[in-house]
Structure 1
Amino acid sequence: MTLIDLFFCALALAAAVPVLVLAAQVVASLPPLRPAPMAARRPSLAVLVPAHDEAGQIAATVAALRPGLGPGDRLLVVADNCRDATAVAARTAGAEVVERHDPERRGKGYALDAGYRHLARTGLPETLVVVDADCALAPAALDRIARLSAALDGPVQAAYRLEPPPQASSALRLATFATVVKQIGRPLGGSRLGWPCGISGTGFAVPTRLLATVGLANGHLAEDLKLGLDLALAGHPPRFCPQAEVTSALPAGAAARRAQQTRWEHGHLSLILPYAGRLLRAALHRGDARLAAMALDLCVLPLVTLALAEAGLAGLALAWWALGGGAGPLLITAASLAILVLALCLAARRWGRGLVRWQDLAAAPRLVAGKAGILARFAVRRQTDWVRTERAGEGPTMG
């Protein structure tokens, strides 16, 4: 075996690791979800809602959250660089409001930091719950994640479900399936394996004392994922709570979906190199396997992106074999692709039932082309500025 063969084999084996992690998570997620007892003690809490130009729906969000509040709890809306009546609408609906104006420091991380600092000045509760302005978190779910966070003394993430709009296209149904696997299926499987989960940015609870150990004020595209990784490195890996669900609508417009996917994927990809190594080193240094699990989970790309990467590597291995190279890389990549296809079929059976149909696969090439464009832009000119996702009925909005 030549040195080039050894290099290709090592590369193929490294690329197979995320596939094996995904397969393990999918298999562990297959059994039905069982009810879980509610943790006994309910901490004092504040619900923090970062909002940028959300005047059209902030009142409904506040109204949905208020029934879940107990005596002494607070509901704080951070109207962040708003150009509309978000602050007025939130106050009218009964929320406490902080207005932040700093166009040079844009992004959700800065809004979270402003809200946390306001709470610290005016009376910090035991637990902070973050809910995005376009999401719905039922009172029972709010209560559950707050209690579980207090019981574990650590961050807790609810199951984040993105709902497709009525009469969704095949491409949109496939995209919805992919997000369900990413936000619910994989975290559920990981939690059953004893692994931590990432933070999805909405519907999470964290003891406020832990926030002093991490920096909230940043404009990173994936500030939610970054926060979960920072908390893990500080010794507090987030846990998943599948019995609590936070919901939001998947953007119906193609441009809005592309903007959202670009932000998520560029943000995720930009965190892999800085954090995977740090997590593995911390896992070895502290003897904490949970951090190693988070590093492996971080390296699992979104489904279509992962499939593209594996298929591309298999194509290279096939070309090398056809040119007279060894068969080892081709065998490894072929096995990896087979495991990935099997994992996707199992995931579709468990998480795609009632959501995707066989005929929806006809839209897969269009979905793959879109993902390829997102990856190409990451390699050539990656997105670094936070862009607000366009809501239904709006025009494109920068934030």
Structure 2
Amino acid sequence: MLKNLVRQRGLQRIAGRVHLTGTGMAMPYALFSASGEVRSSIVEDLAQGLELAESGHHPEFVADATVWSCASTEEGTLTQRRRWEGGFLATSLRQAPKLILKSVVKGDVRGVLAGLDLLVPPLALFALLNVAALAIASLLSLALKLDWWPVLLQLGLLVVALLAIFVVWLREGRQFISLGVLARLPLYAMWKVPMYLGLAKRGAPGIGSGRAAEG
């Protein structure tokens, strides 16, 4: 909900475009023809959205369109998460810097904002990276007797992120999950640690493994 609704809605307002996420897409058939680079991507929806935007066909967010589907199994969810998040991170690291640089050269502020949004990691990984950075900063400050301002800065960033998630839950998320479930989200982030370790070790899954997972 945070990624597919709240952030997409905000990106539409500030950048005049969104990223395709596969959660319900419609386009003229004439634009559906994709390049070889898109077809070889494990996250072909995201890749095609970037390609369309570069050619001047900016994907738009339609807030009143909804897509409902049955929940997946735990194993299926982890497989899909591995495929999507691994592919997203690989595409983000490859495409976002190029998008930002091109937009800066052209003076396209909206393109820069779209590129910066693309650099934001998935929420669970974002939280884990923040916690890891806080722990490292604390250990270095203790071991080397350094100033504590890096720790306080990182702690402040983590608090702001948590407050933002809570505000989103208050405004949009209460119809989906209870406060008790919200409080257990750190357990969900920890559940994904082995997946992130696997991605760091083996990289993003290839197009073949993604298709096998879908089947």
Indicate the residue corresponding to 1:130 in structure 2: none
Instruction: Kindly provide the CA deviation profile for residues 111-161 of structure 1, in whole angstroms up to 9, marking residues without a partner as x.
Output: xxxxxxxxxxxxxxxxxxxxxxxxxxxxxxxxxxxxxxxxxxxxxxxxxxx
Select 2:185's aligned residue among 359, 364, 371: 364
Tell whether 2:74 aligns with 1:264: no
Indicate the residue corresponding to 1:224 in structure 2: 45
Relative contact order higher in (CA < 8 Å, ≥ 6 apart): 2
Indicate the residue corresponding to 1:198 in structure 2: 19
Select 1:310's aligned residue among 100, 115, 130: 130
Structure 2 contact 128–189 (Cα < 8 Å) conserved: yes
Structure 1 contact 304–368 (Cα < 8 Å) conserved: yes
After TM superposition, the structure 1 = structure 2 runs for residues 177-256 of structure 1, keeping only pairs within 5 Å, are: 180-211=1-32, 214-215=35-36, 218-251=39-72, 253-256=73-76
- Distance in 2 of aligned mates of 1:296 and 1:250: 31
- In the alignment, structure 1 segments of 5+ residues that lack a partner are 1-179, 390-396
Aligned-pair RMSD on alpha carbons?
Answer: 2.3
Indicate the residue corresponding to 2:165 in structure 1: 344
Report deviation, 1:255: 0.3
Paired residues, number: 212
Indicate the residue corresponding to 1:152 in structure 2: none
When residues 288 and 213 of structure 1 are mapped into structure 2, their CA distance, relative to the original with a 3 A threshold, is farther
> Sequence identity, in percent?
29
Structure 1 contact 196–293 (Cα < 8 Å) conserved: no
Instruction: Kindly provide the CA deviation profile for residues 6-53 of structure 1, in whole angstroms up to 9, marking residues without a partner as x.
Output: xxxxxxxxxxxxxxxxxxxxxxxxxxxxxxxxxxxxxxxxxxxxxxxx
- In the alignment, structure 2 segments of 5+ residues that lack a partner are none
- Distance in 1 of aligned mates of 2:119 and 2:77: 23
Secondary structure of the structure 1 residue equivalent to 2:177: coil
**Structure 1 or 2: more helix by fraction:** 2
* Letter in structure 2 aligned against 1:186: R
When residues 181 and 217 of structure 1 are mapped into structure 2, their CA distance, relative to the original with a 3 A threshold, is closer
- Distance in 2 of aligned mates of 1:335 and 1:264: 30
Indicate the residue corresponding to 2:200 in structure 1: 379
When residues 363 and 290 of structure 1 are mapped into structure 2, their CA distance, relative to the original with a 3 A threshold, is same
Report deviation, 1:181: 1.1
Report deviation, 1:355: 1.8
**Structure 1 or 2: more strand by fraction:** 1
TM-score in terms of structure 1 length: 0.49
- Distance in 2 of aligned mates of 1:361 and 1:181: 13
Tell whether 2:150 aligns with 1:329: yes
Report deviation, 1:299: 1.2
- Distance in 1 of aligned mates of 2:19 and 2:75: 26
Highest Rg: 1 or 2? 1
Indicate the residue corresponding to 1:275 in structure 2: 95
